[in-house]
């Protein structure tokens, strides 16, 4: 293989109660990337569209990952890379993760598929560190594995792929405001009460149990975040209005995607998802803030080859 084009999906991380440990991939939006094998060693970005990103090989999350994986494999070839961003950086939908995960996947294909999904996740985490300063695994693992994932451990890294109920849908709104990951982390408490920790652990367990048993009521009852959301929602204008509109329209639950500002709502079935979409849209249209929305199934396969 000397060339391929891939789709790397956007992802929702944290999923309310699962801060830095739960995530899932979406079908509707993502990045498209191409990889061309070259006789000259090294990495070169030849084109970036859809966002204003650096062409510096060591500072771009995608090219930094490609460089690292080629060096690790002692490859006797190089790669030319193009990136089309299908959604905005800073949206809370794993923009840098899509680039980093897509880069690891694409480079691995040209190497003959020598690395496992777990190893690709580790490479992609390096890209997250380049982009954000922290090697977080929730977004990149969701993009690579597809579906819902649990980051059970970082040391050693252990990723568990979780089942996805067939009728599960996500509705998301991306208000056109900026929430920096650094700021979103700085507002978090450094200590929490034991009773709050117990409640949060129980919700994570309940959510995972609901996914395994197709129990939408249990999923709904477990989509509660009492630790992170109360602090971060202050950074997102009209968050409570969106959440209330979603739940009143029948959503299982709603929360902050990643560090925001995107707000996601999980729903059972297309009919309710469409009602939730309309309700959220109605709640936000007179705020004076531009926004984008989408409805999507959960992406089961993760990154996929387009050509």
DSSP string, 202-262: HHHHHHHHHHHHT-HHHHHHH---SSSHHHHGGGSTTHHHHHHHHHHTT-SEEEE-TTSS-
* Residues designated catalytic: 128, 181
Q: Cα–Cα distance between 256 and 44 in angstroms, integer?
A: 35
Residue 274 sits at φ, ψ, to 5 deg, of -65, -40
What 8-state DSSP symbol labels residue 166? T
Bridge partners of 34? 5, 82
CA-based radius of gyration for the chain: 19
- 296: β partners: 170
- Using left for φ > 0, alpha for ψ between -120 and 50, and beta otherwise, residue 98 falls in alpha
Bridging pattern class, strands 42-49 and 78-84: parallel
Could you identify the residue written with the tokens 């190497």?
Answer: 111
Per the listing, tokens 């030849």 go with 46
φ, ψ for residue 63 (rounded to 5)?
-70, -35
């Amino acid at each position: 293989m000397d060339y391929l084009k891939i789709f790397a999906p956007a992802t929702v991380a944290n999923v309310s109660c699962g801060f830095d440990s739960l995530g899932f991939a979406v079908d509707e939006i993502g990045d498209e990337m191409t990889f061309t094998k070259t006789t000259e060693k090294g990495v070169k970005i030849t084109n970036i569209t859809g966002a204003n990103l650096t062409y510096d090989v060591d500072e771009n999350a995608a090219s930094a990952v490609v460089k690292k994986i080629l060096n690790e494999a002692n490859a006797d070839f190089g790669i030319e890379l193009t990136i089309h961003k299908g959604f905005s950086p800073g949206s809370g939908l794993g923009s840098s993760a899509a680039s980093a995960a897509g880069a690891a996947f694409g480079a691995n294909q040209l190497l003959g598929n020598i690395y496992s999904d777990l190893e690709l996740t580790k490479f992609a985490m390096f890209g997250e560190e380049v982009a954000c300063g922290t090697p977080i695994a929730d977004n990149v693992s969701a993009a690579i594995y597809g579906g819902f994932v649990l980051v059970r451990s970082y040391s050693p890294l252990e990723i568990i792929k979780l089942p996805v109920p067939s009728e599960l849908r996500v509705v998301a709104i991306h208000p056109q405001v900026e929430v920096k990951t650094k700021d979103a982390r700085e507002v978090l408490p450094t200590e929490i009460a034991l009773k709050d920790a117990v409640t949060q652990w129980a919700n994570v367990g309940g959510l995972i149990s609901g996914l395994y048993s197709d129990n939408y009521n249990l999923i709904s009852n477990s989509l509660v975040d009492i630790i992170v959301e109360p602090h971060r929602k202050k950074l997102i204008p009209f968050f409570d209005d969106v959440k209330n509109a979603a739940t009143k329209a029948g959503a299982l639950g709603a929360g902050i995607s990643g560090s925001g500002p995107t707000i996601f709502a999980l729903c059972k079935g297309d009919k309710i998802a469409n009602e939730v979409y309309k309700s959220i849209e109605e709640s936000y249209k007179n705020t004076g803030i531009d926004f984008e929305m989408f409805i999507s199934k959960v992406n089961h396969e993760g990154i996929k080859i387009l050509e």
